[in-house]
Each structure stands twice: as C-alpha cells, then as structure tokens.
Amino acid sequence: MTMVLWGVRRNLPVAMPGVPAWSMAPLLCAASTVFFSLDQRLPGFVVMLAGNALLMSGLGLFYFGSLRFWHQSCPWRSWTAGGAALLAAMSYFYCFQPDFRARTMLFAGSMAVCAFAHARLLQRHGKGFSCRLSVIVLATLCGVSMLRAATTFWLDAPDSTRVMQMPMQQLYAVSFHLAALLLSIGGLLMLSERVRYEFEHQASHDSLTGAFTRRTLFQAGEREWTRWTRYGRPFSVLLLDIDRFKSINDRWGHPTGDKVLQECTTLIAALLRSGDALGRYGGEEFVVVLGETDGAAAWMAAERIRQALEQHRAPDLPAYTASIGVATAAAGDTGFGNLLKRADMALYQAKASGRNRSIAL
Ligand SMILES: Nc1nc2c(ncn2[C@@H]2O[C@H](COP(=O)(O)OP(=O)(O)OP(=O)(O)O)[C@@H](O)[C@H]2O)c(=O)[nH]1
C-alpha cells in the first residue's frame, strides 16, 4: 500500500497535503508486524518496545495525514510527547514493575483514543463513501481496542512477559492489520474524490475570479430557459461590463486590473440570492442569471449592483463603475442565447449613452 500511495502521489496533477504521511503509515504498521513475528528470536523488551512504537507511529501517521488532508492544524508535538510518555510507561511496567495487564490497558486504551479522534475528524470534515468506510474501520478498531483493554484483567496473567495466543488477542492483532489496509484504501479513495472535485471545480469556475465559466453559466441559463418555456417561470439576465477597464490596466497595471476583477466578483456575489448564477463571460464582462425574476426586479437588482460598485472604495485599488444590460425572457425569445443577445444590445446602449448605468430591453 505504501508503494501504491507513493506512486499515486507522484502522478498527482497537484500536490495533496497528507498523502506522504498516509503512504508511510502502512509501512510502519507492516514493520511492527515483523517485530511481533520475531517474538521468540529477539529479546522480549525489544519486541515490546519496537513493535508497539512502530504500530503507534503508523496509526498516528494515518491520523496526521488526515489532519493535513483536511487542512487542520497538526498537533504533532503534543502527540509525539504523548506517544513517548506511553512508551516510557510501558517500559516501566516491563522492566521495573512487570505488569502485562497494565501495559495492555495503556496501549489498547491509547489506540482507542487515537482511532476515536481520527474517526471524529473524518466524520466532521469528510463526505462520501471513502470517509464513511474509514470512519467504520476506525470505529471498529476503537471498539476492539477498548474491549481488549477491558478484558485484560480476566484474560491475561499479570506476570506474563509475552503475548498469549488467544481469540481476543488474535482479534485485536488482526483488527490492526485490517485497519492499516482499509485506511490505506480509504485514503486512496479520498484522494481520487478530491482530484475529481478539483477537476470539476476547475472546469466550472474561472481561475482568476472564482465566478462560473461560460460553460457552467450557459448550463444555468438553459436550465432557467427550460423552466420558463415549460412552466412560465420568469427569469432575467444581466450582462455587466466594467467601464474603461483598459485605462485601469494601462494606468495601474495588469495585476491591479486582475484585483479589480476579483473584487468586482466578490461584490456582485454578495448581492445575489443563493439560486442566482454569476459567471465571467469574457475579459471584464460578467453575466448574472436571475431565476424567478421578472423585468422590474431584474432592473432593481442591476441598479443595486451598479450602485454598490460605484460607491465601493478599496485601499490600493482605483474607483470604477460598470454598465449593465438587462433582459427578461419574453414571448418572442428563441432561446437563452437570444436573451443574452438582447442583454448585449442593452449593454451597448448603456455604454453609448454615457456608461455607469443600467438599461433594460
Ligand atoms: N487585468 C486584466 N485585464 C483583462 C483581462 N481580460 C481582459 N482584460 C483587458 O480588458 C480590457 C478591455 O478593454 P475594452 O474592451 O477596450 O473595454 P473598456 O476599456 O472597458 O471600455 P468600455 O467597455 O467601452 O468602457 C482590455 O485592455 C483587455 O486587455 C484580465 O483577465 N485581466
């Protein structure tokens, strides 16, 4: 799984945080198995310390990977200190006051806490099958670890130095290995869901402003057009063009022009309802598709936007205005494209009659 995750990571089109930690985690879990399988050949203390340290680090790395993947702060210092304290306590109960039950309870209890924290993180932030799978795996691991910690008092002898082969212990050991495998698969699935989301987002959103691309905008427009022709639901279109944008670029430079486009998008988006679609039509031109909006309401929306842009002042950015063409679906229209053409004609009139105004056709 380490090689699969590492290979996938190298071929990702964008860097994904958390994947390096995910890819190391199964390797550590597998290394712990090597130590536990050498139980009879290595000194018991080495097996206990190295095996548990590797297993704990493996599970910890799965958790840290998920924290990074979901852009959460990673408290690795406190967790590392906690892990070191756990190993120190286990060493104490091995060397100075041998107590197998205390060691089992400490380790299994800590693994239950780690699995619980991880499951809670995924439940809060993740969606979809991949997260649900990982949450089920972690919840099961948490349950089995708690069971192991609770049953150690009547299943294990306190002076035992080596792990006893009994059904509860086997279930406990198998659950770790299965968890490592299934968490790696869960990570791979989360990764593929994230990559798909990123691609879909890039295809549907303009990279500079975050507004919809033309394609998504036309899909929204066609949807409203269908509702209008089938059910007679009114809808309108605004075509907005920033005035004399070329002179902003010429005087302030292209980077400032870009910031104006971004700021303009934010201002317009803040004035729209949740069902409205805002898209970048071209350079400094934006289109707004207003569902359930008749001509009078569309003109008022256009004026609200125009006045907000005119009055807004931002530090380090020039003042600017916009002209807006408004068109509302009417009996003579032949499609969304035709409606947009009417909005373009209205915009042309707004520009020709002095700019910084809204005109409806
Ligand atoms: N900074 C920046 N400028 C852009 C971008 N896309 C297009 N432009 C510029 O937008 C300007 C549009 O200029 P024009 O079409 O002449 O329109 P205008 O200057 O706004 O004049 P009117 O529309 O008549 O008020 C051009 O200079 C383009 O280079 C972009 O993504 N970023």
Q: Model ipTM?
A: 0.95
Asked if residue 341 and residue 284 are part of one domain, the reply reads yes
Residues 184 and 260 reside in one and the same domain: no
Q: Are residues 119 and 192 in the same domain?
A: yes
Whole-angstrom Cα distance, residue 276 to residue 298?
11
CA dihedral (325, 331, 332, 337) in degrees, to 10, reads: 50
Residue 161 lies in a domain: yes
Least confident of 191-195, 257-261, 285-289: 191-195
Instruction: Find the 267 Cα to ligand 1 centroid distance in Å.
Output: 19
The model's pLDDT over 191-206, given as tens digits with 9 standing for 90+, comes to 888 888 888 998 999 9
**222 CA → ligand 1 middle, Å:** 27
**pLDDT confidence tier of residue 33, bands split at 50, 70 and 90:** confident
Based on the fold, state whether residues 184 and 242 are members of the same structural domain.
no
In a domain, 209, yes or no: no
Instruction: Inform me whether the pLDDT recorded for 209 exceeds 70.
Output: yes
Q: What is the value of pTM for the model shown?
A: 0.69
Mean pLDDT highest for which of 51-60, 72-81, 118-127, 263-272?
263-272
Pocket test for ligand 1, best of 249, 286, 317 (most atoms within 8 A of CB): 249
Q: Residue 91: its pLDDT value, please?
A: 92
Cα 250 to ligand 1 centroid, rounded to whole Å: 10
Do 168 and 286 fall into the same domain? no
Query: Nearest 5°: phi and psi at 316?
Result: 70, 10
In a domain, 345, yes or no: yes
145, 168 in Cβ contact below 8 A?
Answer: no
Q: Is the pLDDT score of 6 beyond 80?
A: no
Split into its structural domains, the chain has a count of 2
DSSP E strand stretches across the chain = 235-242, 277-282, 285-291, 322-328, 358-360
Residues 230 and 177 in one domain: no
Q: In the predicted model, what is the mean pLDDT of residues 142-168?
A: 75
Residues 244 and 197 in one domain: no
CA angle 72, 77, 80 (to 5 degrees): 110
Domain of residue 276 covers 214-360
Question: Which of 204, 227, 245 represents a domain boundary (last residue)?
Answer: 204
pLDDT at 13 over 80: no
pLDDT at 101 over 90: no
Is 116 inside a domain boundary?
yes
* Site to substitute for ligand 1 among 243, 265, 284, most atoms within 8 A of C-beta: 284
Q: How far is the CA of 240 from the centre of ligand 1 (A)?
A: 13
Residues annotated catalytic, as ranges: 284
Q: Which atom of ligand 1 is nearest to the CA of 257?
A: 1
Q: Which of 151, 174, 204 is the last residue of a domain?
A: 204
On whether both 236 and 166 belong to a single domain, the answer is: no
Give the list of residues 6+ apart from residue 64 with CB closer than 8 angstroms, or none.
18, 21, 74, 76, 79
Give the CATH number, domain containing residue 268.
3.30.70.270
**Is residue 162 very low, low, confident or very high in pLDDT (cuts 50, 70, 90)?**
low
Q: What would the mean pLDDT of 244-263 be, rounded to a whole number?
A: 96
User: Which of 185, 204, 223 corresponds to the end of one domain?
Assistant: 204
Atom of ligand 1 nearest to the CA of 254: 1
In a domain? residue 194: yes
Which protein residue has the closest C-alpha to ligand 1 atom 22?
244
The contacts of residue 103 (CB under 8 Å, 6+ apart) are 48, 90, 93, 94
Q: For position 257, what pLDDT does the model report?
A: 97
Kindly list the protein residues whose Cβ atom lies closer than 6 A to any atom of ligand 1: 208, 241-246, 249, 254, 257-258, 261, 283-284, 351, 355
Helices 44-69 and 100-125, packing angle to 10 deg: 10
Contact 180, 33 (CB under 8 A): no
Residue 310 is assigned to a structural domain of this protein:
yes
Whether residue 104 sits in one domain with residue 53: yes
